[in-house]
Structure 1
Amino acid sequence: MGTYRIVKKLAAGGMAEVFLGKVVGAEGFEKPVAVKRILPSFVQDAAFVDLFLREAKLSVSLQHGNVLQVLDLGSSAGQYYMVMEFVDGENLGALLKAARRRQVPLGIREICFIAQQVADGLAYAHGCTDSSGAPLNIIHRDVNPSNVMVSSNGGVKLADFGIAKVADEGYQETQVGVLKGKINYLSPEQVHGRPVDQRSDIFLLGLLLYEMLAGRRLFEGTTPHIIHALGNFDERALEPLPGVPAPLWALLLRALAAQPAARFPVAREFSESIQNFLFDHRLRVSASDIASLFGRAFPDWRSPLADLASVPGEEIRLEGADFPRTRTPPGRETRRPPPGPPPMLRPVTPPPNGMGVTAVAVSYTR
């Protein structure tokens, strides 16, 4: 197992914390990494430790430019650590918040680029296979701005497969009455307790795309209000957002279809639809445009890497991480899941006025 040095804390949540670390090797070799550690108060929580280990075991097999890679897993002094690639940037939620605070407009082309990159990451994860070539049928189930990393150089990566579902794992399904995922980012079928497939992730990406376009979440309010709005959601009741071209609005509504059968059947098709929209409207965009957006939103950005060389850090040596590292052989092409049944909408009771479907106009640059 690897030897690492913990340099500084980057973030802390309710159950885990993330540090900037570095791999140390011979002849002064150093490589930055992110190190996630379970908080000491949760080390004895078997359910949470299992979730943590499942995330690492699943993520270590995912190798794609739009998916945050897990590099190592182990324990040291009774604590569990997960070592991940370091992204020199912020999560999308922080970027959106900083842009609003500084009144930095998000252009349609930048918004589409970010959504398309996340869709590519989902398409890859959805198409992953095991060592025998059988599809894993991975469902992320927690696509939201805090789980999308945006680097200062414009890279976009989907992270945190902690509550992802894998069809062949055989672990216990979500308990009745317990919702997996953040309350503002759930699909109607999750709320209804119905079977969830990869089209649920497409709905969640639709929520993320809507939030970037509107400047606010589609579903807001108290938990009971959000649950009611999601349970009775009908995408046809949404009013078009000012300034959003009709073709883009149409593909957004398809991603947000209340009925899974009416959505894009696979994430790859969602990504291609965004690319076609950009091409048809002659909107050229690349990672450099996202880097420029990042710089405007964070003009005083100071990279944590500045401390990498000057701070020796606390050494940890991980041991005891015994899990498969080759579930998806390098070079294997992503396989699409079979398309769903033909689109078919059922009558749905629209949510009460003002409950979770308010559209907010924002400025755009092209």
Structure 2
Amino acid sequence: MENTTLGNQYQIVRKIATGGMGELFVANQFGEFNYQRQVVIKRLHPELANDALHRGLFIQEAVLSGRFNHPNLVHVHGITEDSNGLYMVMEYIVGMDLMGLVRAAIARRSFLPLEHALCIIAQIGEGLETVHSITDARGRPLNLVHRDVTPSNILITHNGIAKLVDFGVARVRSEGGQPGQDADIIAGKINYMAPEMLSGGAIDHRVDLFGLGVILYELVLGRRLFRGTPEEAREAILSRPIPLPSVVKPGIDPDLEKILLKAVDKNPEYRYQSAGELVLDLEKFAAERKIRFSRLKLARYLQRFNQPDKAVDAAEPEPESGIEDWEGVQLDFDQGFGEGWGQSETMGMNIPENSMPDMDDEEWLELMGSPEKLAQRQRSRPVFAIREGTGAHAASAPTAAAADTAFEFGEGKSLPQPALSGTSASSSPRSGWGPAAWIALALAVGVAGFMLARVL
């Protein structure tokens, strides 16, 4: 296909990816008066050209995406078919997907700052609000559902704009104008599927909100929510309670914890009912905590990675490793912590393990550099869960939770957190005095005693 000209105006430059449904190419579009721009060509695999299902999904993706006019949704300029096959013309996006951004941050021994995580999720939420409210030519709701809201389908441009892509498995209103059931197709990636999708129940736009909620949960806490093989992830989604954020990350802001739990509630009736509702809650939380997120700040954050421009598009590229199902690969967000952590020039200390009983997981790994010890530590913790479907706590948070634990905001900034219910600053393990404080006190008492003896 390279150097091939399509439709007398698109010259293929190079192939950039191969997905399950099609191939993607960078192309130069030419027009009159020296008009030129770069676009992405997505072509349906030739062997699927006569497959009614895949052909229909491909055309539907182009037609639906062509209706969007929103900065946080991928733009499709057109679709056509000729001797070169069935292909659509899409915008050329320079940036990286969300998973790539998280990996890049971990490679720098850090994690995506909260302000940027909120910025990305809020932008995708705004895009989903548009998707879910789109209507047909008669003004009737299409009840459009993306069904595959995952990190690999969220692209971050070099100027800080988050875009939701790949509407290849989206579904619209069934006959009669009501949300239907998926008896024949389960679309998307298991780790981000809502329980009602996996159980074969009726689905609506709230399955997209669940997927976005899982991503938010993972970005805030720094670890996968539903990990393991597809079978293990499915079992966890259907049968296991959601781990309390305050147990996973002691010291998390209680209001942020409420947002996370509502976003991933397994009962859609107790989940966020619209993407806009989630966005407003995130903006309210950020405003109250004086967390200022913006696309400009996100763009400046991206510049530090110094990566060459990489064209990304609406199809999921085939991994170079040949592994087609990335759910089976250990991509836990917190896996990177421990690989090199504690080995930097500033962390060359040999600290006894039993001297850090009250540290959270990130601090533990930073000092100990041992994922195995962390796993052992986590297994020894009590498990707290939420009641299925309601978001209510089945057990309260530990009364010894650190009331003055700082939660990281932005570039190394932190804000003190209020005590959790049933705790106080005085009851916090972190409020106790360390060895240095006791030594200082002893010296002070000794000096005072010496001075008193001289006076007497």
Question: What is the rounded CA distance, in whole Å, between the counterparts of 1:36 and 1:128 in structure 2?
Answer: 24
Are residue 260 (structure 1) and residue 305 (structure 2) matched? no
Any stretches of 5+ residues in structure 2 without a counterpart?
1-6, 313-387, 396-406, 414-456
Are residue 119 (structure 1) and residue 125 (structure 2) matched? yes
Question: What is the rounded CA distance, in whole Å, between the counterparts of 2:186 and 2:237 in structure 1?
Answer: 13
User: What is the identity, as a one-letter code, of the residue corresponding to 1:36?
Assistant: K
Asked if structure 1 preserves the Cα contact closer than 8 Å seen for 2:160 and 2:296, the reply is yes
User: Which structure has the highest helix share of the two?
Assistant: 2
* Displacement of 1:100: 1.6
Counterpart residue number, 1:308: none
Count of residues in Structure 1 that have an aligned counterpart in Structure 2: 317
Counterpart residue number, 1:38: 44
Q: Highest CA radius of gyration, 1 or 2?
A: 2
Residue of structure 2 aligned with 1:103, choices 103, 106, 109: 109
Asked if structure 2 preserves the Cα contact closer than 8 Å seen for 1:129 and 1:135, the reply is yes
Are residue 58 (structure 1) and residue 103 (structure 2) matched? no
User: What is the identity, as a one-letter code, of the residue corresponding to 2:309?
Assistant: R
Report the TM-score when normalising by structure 1: 0.79
Question: What is the rounded CA distance, in whole Å, between the counterparts of 1:283 and 1:349 in structure 2?
Answer: 31
Question: What is the rounded CA distance, in whole Å, between the counterparts of 1:72 and 1:349 in structure 2?
Answer: 51
Counterpart residue number, 1:340: none
Counterpart residue number, 2:211: 204
Asked if structure 2 preserves the Cα contact closer than 8 Å seen for 1:88 and 1:152, the reply is yes
Residue of structure 2 aligned with 1:345, choices 360, 370, 390: 390
Residue of structure 2 aligned with 1:234, choices 241, 244, 262: 241
Alignment CA distance shift 1:94-1:344 (3 Å): closer
Alignment CA distance shift 1:228-1:364 (3 Å): same
Aligned runs of 1:92-241 on 2, under 5 Å? Answer: 92-168=98-174, 174-176=182-184, 178-235=185-242, 239-241=247-249
Question: What is the rounded CA distance, in whole Å, between the counterparts of 2:205 and 2:166 in structure 1?
Answer: 16
Residue of structure 2 aligned with 1:251, choices 252, 259, 266: 259
Question: What is the rounded CA distance, in whole Å, between the counterparts of 1:46 and 1:106 in structure 2?
Answer: 42
Alignment CA distance shift 1:197-1:233 (3 Å): farther
User: What is the identity, as a one-letter code, of the residue corresponding to 2:390?
Assistant: L
Are residue 6 (structure 1) and residue 51 (structure 2) matched? no
Alignment CA distance shift 1:88-1:232 (3 Å): same
Asked if structure 1 preserves the Cα contact closer than 8 Å seen for 2:206 and 2:272, the reply is yes
User: What is the identity, as a one-letter code, of the residue corresponding to 1:270?
Assistant: L
Matched residue SS, 2:224: coil
Any stretches of 5+ residues in structure 1 without a counterpart?
306-342, 351-361
Alignment CA distance shift 1:221-1:76 (3 Å): same
Alignment CA distance shift 1:118-1:252 (3 Å): same
User: What is the identity, as a one-letter code, of the residue corresponding to 2:291?
Assistant: L
Alignment CA distance shift 1:35-1:216 (3 Å): farther
Question: What is the rounded CA distance, in whole Å, between the counterparts of 1:144 and 1:261 in structure 2?
Answer: 22
Identity across matched positions, percent = 34
* Displacement of 1:303: 5.2
Asked if structure 2 preserves the Cα contact closer than 8 Å seen for 1:234 and 1:349, the reply is no
User: What is the identity, as a one-letter code, of the residue corresponding to 2:116?
Assistant: E
Matched residue SS, 1:32: strand
Counterpart residue number, 1:285: 293
Counterpart residue number, 2:35: 29
Alignment CA distance shift 1:8-1:116 (3 Å): same
Question: What is the rounded CA distance, in whole Å, between the counterparts of 2:180 and 2:80 in structure 1?
Answer: 24
Question: What is the rounded CA distance, in whole Å, between the counterparts of 1:347 and 1:363 in structure 2?
Answer: 26
* Displacement of 1:235: 3.1
Alignment CA distance shift 1:82-1:244 (3 Å): farther
* Displacement of 1:79: 1.2
